[in-house]
Amino acid sequence: MEDDPYGELRYRGEHVPAPASMSDRVLHLGSFSKIGAPGLRLGWLRAPAEPLRTLVIVKWAADLHTSTLDQAAAAYLAANDLFAHVRKLCAAYRERRDAMVAALARDVAFVPGASFHATTPDPAMLRLSFTTNTVERITEGVRRPGCGDHPGTGN
């Protein structure tokens, strides 16, 4: 099983084919929420015919229907050069990622991540989001952590 919501978003180097494209024994899951719009909760499954039939039945038993509006939005995006849209996303996200990396290199203080975990924390982990902000906001946000959209809350 290959859960690959970010596979199309590559910021450097050559495209790496999904393992599912190299074997008929791998189920491949993708999502429009990362390449279309964050609220577009619609994905896809690429699978060999035999398990696919069973999985379709299981999906029907779970919810019977996927949002018509979400399906129409995804169809529109796919019909209007999805690949060009993904290339634009990659360029914009690359610029934002680079801005965050550059800002981090200029000295960052942060609260250790252990206090934000509900279970056993990974002490070597830090998660920073760069996809939803402009380069200017990233630079400023890294310059002064804790001063985001919600003053006083640290968010």
Chain segment 87-103, per-residue pLDDT in tens: 999 999 999 999 988 88
123 has a pLDDT exceeding 70 = yes
> Tokens 């914009």 belong to which residue?
92
pLDDT (average), residues 127-134: 80
For tokens 């509900």, the residue is 118
Query: Helix H segments across 1-41?
Result: 32-35
Average pLDDT of the residues in 23-29: 87
Res. 4: pLDDT tops 80: yes
Q: Is 80 helix (H, G, I), strand (E, B) or coil?
A: coil
On the question of pLDDT at 122 being above 80, the answer is no
The structure tokens listed for 71 are 């399906």
**Out of 33-37, 122-126, 131-135, 151-155, least confident range:** 151-155
When comparing pLDDT for 126 and 140, which is higher?
140
